[in-house]
A and B are shown apart, each in its own frame.
Chain A
Amino acid sequence: AQSVTQLGSHVSVSEGALVLLRCNYSSSVPPYLFWYVQYPNQGLQLLLKYTTGATLVKGINGFEAEFKKSETSFHLTKPSAHMSDAAEYFCAVSDNDYKLSFGAGTTVTVRA
């Protein structure tokens, strides 16, 4: 079975500081890996997706993630946090495009 573990249920950063959200996956087959963001009272929005090819994936809103097979990790980063980045972030793994296994989520707060 595929699963993901997100380290840290809550992350607090200062505006302009680096955002780093950690995700480790477990999969017996080459996975699809995703990061989604959820704002209050809204659905999930795809930030980025890894399938094959380049291990550094660039997404929307300045986010990027690096697939490291040796570490089974897919950490999400953004060089400079903005107030609008305050939200909940979910890492997910799948072997297809519709049945995703999500992590527990990491809530990001941004301090002015």
Chain B
Amino acid sequence: KAGVTQTPRYLIKTRGQQVTLSCSPISGHRSVSWYQQTPGQGLQFLFEYFSETQRNKGNFPGRFSGRQFSNSRSEMNVSTLELGDSALYLCASSNPDRENSPLHFGNGTRLTVT
């Protein structure tokens, strides 16, 4: 079974630009969560989608947004990039229909903002 796939693996953007990151969950997983990992703030929850609906959102500004498609694939978008947005963005999927289904993480997209 293929794991969680995130594309691209690396991105370099300039301040003020916007960026879109993609995540394909494990087949059959309908919940997709996004996390930001930085050396200073650690791992922080961004948002979670289930059946194309955002169920929960972390404490991030509105520049951070996401969506989920009918095939459960998800994208997150960051607009008006700031230097502080440089981070590893991790996507994770799970199957809420199965009791105690854990999060399965992808290898992340490393975003560098210059």
The answer to whether B105 touches A43 (Cβ under 8 A) is yes
Residue A46 lies at the interface, judged by CB distance under 8 Å to chain B: yes
Beta-carbon contacts under 8 Å, A26-70 to B: 34, 36, 41-46, 49, 51
The answer to whether A97 touches B90 (Cβ under 8 A) is no
The answer to whether A97 touches B106 (Cβ under 8 A) is no
- Interface locus among B42-50, B60-68, B71-79: B42-50
The answer to whether A43 touches B106 (Cβ under 8 A) is yes
Size range of the interface on B? 20 to 34
Question: Chain B's nearest CB lies how many Å from the CB of A22?
Answer: 17
The answer to whether A98 touches B107 (Cβ under 8 A) is no
CA distance A34 to B104 in the complex (A): 12
Given A43-B108, A45-B105, CB of A98 within 8 Å of CB of B31: yes
Report which B residues bind A (CB closer than 8 A): 4, 31, 33, 42-45, 48, 55-56, 58, 90, 92, 94, 96, 100-108
Report which A residues bind B (CB closer than 8 A): 34, 36, 41-46, 49, 51, 90, 92, 97-105
Interchain residue pairs with CB less than 8 A apart (8): A43-B105, A43-B108, A44-B103, A49-B102, A97-B31, A97-B103, A98-B48, A102-B44
Which 10 A/B pairs are nearest by Cβ-Cβ distance?
A43-B105, A102-B43, A44-B105, A98-B33, A43-B107, A98-B48, A46-B102, A43-B106, A104-B42, A42-B107
